[in-house]
Structure 1
Amino acid sequence: MASPDAAVSVLARMTEQRPVWAVARDLAAAGVPVFPCLPGGKRPLTPRGFHDATTNPRQVQAWWRTHPEANLAVPTGAASGIVVVDVDVHGPVDGYLAFERAHRAGLVTGWQLLNTTPSGGMHAYYPATTEQGQRSWQAARAGIDFRGDGGYIIVPPSTVSTGEQAAGYRVRRISTGPVSGLDSDRLRDFLDPRPTPPRTSGQGVERSADVSRLAAWVAARGEGERNRGLFWAACRLAENGVPAPEALDVLSAAASQAGLGEREINVTVRSAYRTAQPESRLLSSPVRDGAPEAAAWFGRDASEASSAPVRGLS
């Protein structure tokens, strides 16, 4: 893993006039893997995306010799030593509000660097933790994405074209206070809490309440989270002995409310049951008596899914 300070150190020294290729070279020299993305865009130019990121100076030079206007991207997580909280602003969703709530709760302090993004959002950089993996996730309704293992970010001085205009990623604030790692699991639970199953006296009542609560959670998933949420919910039902036809009936209505189509729902639920119960058959699962403990329904993660920063970073 690259040093958690390496990427921030390079970006903190960057000037507005420094070309992208020079920053790519400096990051690679500091041990931070990089790769090119489309000029004015975010899509990787390499066949395997962030998996092709490298610190090899010859490869980096060759990429930007071939694509001199390419944007610059860095894989997040263990590969680069940094993770990023991505604050989005689009339509009615204002991620700054959620970020400020999380800051008041003490969940997003300790950032190293703040960048503004072309959409008017913000990237907050934190050192990656070496003790445990930090997988990427989305909390679309809160306007917050987390870029960790399995993700990447576009870094300054890259620009993104929107219509006839182009706007850039810019370093806006460097921390002068204490820096610390981010508990990304706690942050996700705060921004997008999992449903808590009720404790009741009868197993039948408990089972019915848990299934209903899980379905309500699926129905509330926003764009970007619907498929993953449905898959996770179906896996939980499969693991806890809910017959496949019953799971399909319950989750179909919930997923439809979230905006998924019938075919997409069927494919996702079938895939979840094949994953959780390789021996199961979706349309012929036997009904099992009894119900598991309530805590088992939500016992696994759904992903497989300084000073306080303020709006405008003034």
Structure 2
Amino acid sequence: MAARTAFTTVLASLGPEAPLPVAARAFAAAGVPVFPVAPGGKHPITAHGFHDATSDLRQVEAWWGRFPGGNIGVPTGQASGVSVVDVDVHGVDGFAAFRRAGRAGLVTGWEALVRSPTDGLHVYYPAADTEQASWQAGDAGVDFRGDRGYIIAPPSRRVIDGETKLYRLASVSPTPGGALDVEALRTFLIPPRPPRRFPIPERRSGRTDPQKLANWLGAERTDRNRKLFWASCVLAEEGVPFRDALDAMLTVEQPDFGSREITRTVASGYKRIHGTPTSASDRASRPSPKRDAAPEQRLAPARGL
């Protein structure tokens, strides 16, 4: 049977009034990396923040020997073995969104619930085996703290309006938890927006004329990248060769709308429709549209798109 994470095991063993140096050492001794945070605050003391987190006992004892009132920071994600859903109450009711996600079955598997000093909620889960980046759903009042993020762990405390308030363990699950389906939760909280539609310019012989689209784009002065991407998708759907589309779009190059940006965006549109911007034979057989440019200025096929 799976065991609880080391973090939750230590957390459940600590009392709410445990001295911060003792708690920091307990986490480190269990293999959970920690780093010191400003006493009564949320900002790291170390030069590189959560990147400095360690489970080395000598370093941890040195940090809290120097800053005995330092709060305990824990990097989230694979570094510590835990990820956190942060339910906020500042200007938005994050609990309403969290309850909706609960009814949809998207927030099961938690191991520990921690009340924050501002009356929010930190919901701890075992980290996934693969990297899960941190993100924010500000309108919903829910954040996810995964890889490249950190959390303040109990029994840390904040000083708010002159009053000291604790991060308090509220509940521990009776059974080990499971990794969160982060992408499902993110899609639920931040539904994808429908694609923006633009008026379609005149079509010719059943397919769009790339030069007319380019002329239309050149007359625009707002959302040029978005419109260029849309136009590229239209051309790709209509079967216009990638290089024909690119040659036409490069005619609207301007100082603040350069060839590299245009090339990347057109390639992205073709990749969205066909899975690849152009064939190898097309790249090899067609010269760059800027034949008189110096070699280092000639356009190369966009990479990594």
> How would you bin the TM-score normalised by the shorter chain?
0.5 to 0.7
Higher relative contact order (CA 8 A, sep 6+): 1
Measured after TM superposition, the shift of residue 196 of structure 1 is: 3.1
Is residue 78 from structure 1 mapped to residue 78 from structure 2 by the alignment?
yes
Q: Which letter does structure 1 place at the counterpart of 2:222?
A: D
Is residue 87 from structure 1 mapped to residue 87 from structure 2 by the alignment?
yes
Measured after TM superposition, the shift of residue 178 of structure 1 is: 5.6
Measured after TM superposition, the shift of residue 250 of structure 1 is: 2.4
Measured after TM superposition, the shift of residue 251 of structure 1 is: 7.9
Q: Which letter does structure 2 place at the counterpart of 1:282?
A: D
Bigger Rg, which one:
2
* Cα distance, 1:122–1:246 mapped onto 2, change above 3 Å: farther
* Cα distance, 1:40–1:196 mapped onto 2, change above 3 Å: same
Q: Which letter does structure 1 place at the counterpart of 2:125?
A: Y
Q: Residues 48-107 of structure 1, C-alpha deviation per residue, up to 9 Å, x if partnerless?
A: 00000001101000001101110001000010000000000012x010000000011111
SS of residue paired to 1:171: strand
SS of residue paired to 1:142: coil
Equivalents in 2 of 1:37, 1:171: separation in Å? 19
* Cα distance, 1:280–1:4 mapped onto 2, change above 3 Å: farther
Q: Map 1:113-152; keep pairs closer than 5 Å.
A: 113-130=112-129, 132-152=130-150
SS of residue paired to 1:74: strand
Measured after TM superposition, the shift of residue 163 of structure 1 is: 1.6
Measured after TM superposition, the shift of residue 204 of structure 1 is: 5.6
Q: Residues 251-283 of structure 1, C-alpha deviation per residue, up to 9 Å, x if partnerless?
A: 89xxxxxxxxxxxxxxxxxxxxxxxxxx99633
* Cα distance, 1:204–1:52 mapped onto 2, change above 3 Å: farther
SS of residue paired to 2:80: coil
With normalisation by structure 2, the TM-score equals 0.67
SS of residue paired to 2:28: helix
Single out whichever of 12-21 and 114-123 deviates more from structure 2.
Answer: 12-21
Equivalents in 2 of 1:14, 1:290: separation in Å? 55
What is residue 196 of structure 1 aligned with on the other side?
Answer: 194
Is contact 2:4-2:111 (8 Å) kept?
A: no
Measured after TM superposition, the shift of residue 293 of structure 1 is: 6.7
Is residue 172 from structure 1 mapped to residue 170 from structure 2 by the alignment?
yes
Measured after TM superposition, the shift of residue 197 of structure 1 is: 3.1
Is residue 249 from structure 1 mapped to residue 222 from structure 2 by the alignment?
yes
What is residue 228 of structure 2 aligned with on the other side?
Answer: none
Is contact 1:24-1:72 (8 Å) kept?
A: yes
What is residue 33 of structure 2 aligned with on the other side?
Answer: 33
Equivalents in 1 of 2:18, 2:194: separation in Å? 50
Measured after TM superposition, the shift of residue 199 of structure 1 is: 9.8
What is residue 234 of structure 2 aligned with on the other side?
Answer: none
Equivalents in 1 of 2:256, 2:186: separation in Å? 32
SS of residue paired to 1:154: strand
Is contact 2:41-2:159 (8 Å) kept?
A: yes
Equivalents in 2 of 1:89, 1:167: separation in Å? 16
Measured after TM superposition, the shift of residue 36 of structure 1 is: 0.3
Is residue 104 from structure 1 mapped to residue 121 from structure 2 by the alignment?
no
Q: Map 1:250-269; keep pairs closer than 5 Å.
A: 250=223
Q: CA RMSD in A?
A: 3.4
Equivalents in 2 of 1:121, 1:85: separation in Å? 11
Q: Structure 2 unaligned segments of length 5 or more: list them.
A: 203-213, 226-252, 274-305
What is residue 257 of structure 2 aligned with on the other side?
Answer: 283
Q: Residues 30-57 of structure 1, C-alpha deviation per residue, up to 9 Å, x if partnerless?
A: 0000000000000000000000000110
Measured after TM superposition, the shift of residue 166 of structure 1 is: 1.6
With normalisation by structure 1, the TM-score equals 0.65
SS of residue paired to 1:141: coil
Is contact 2:27-2:34 (8 Å) kept?
A: yes
Measured after TM superposition, the shift of residue 295 of structure 1 is: 5.7
What percent of counterpart residues are identical? Answer: 47
Q: Which letter does structure 2 place at the counterpart of 1:146?
A: F
SS of residue paired to 1:89: coil
Q: Which letter does structure 2 place at the counterpart of 1:108?
A: V
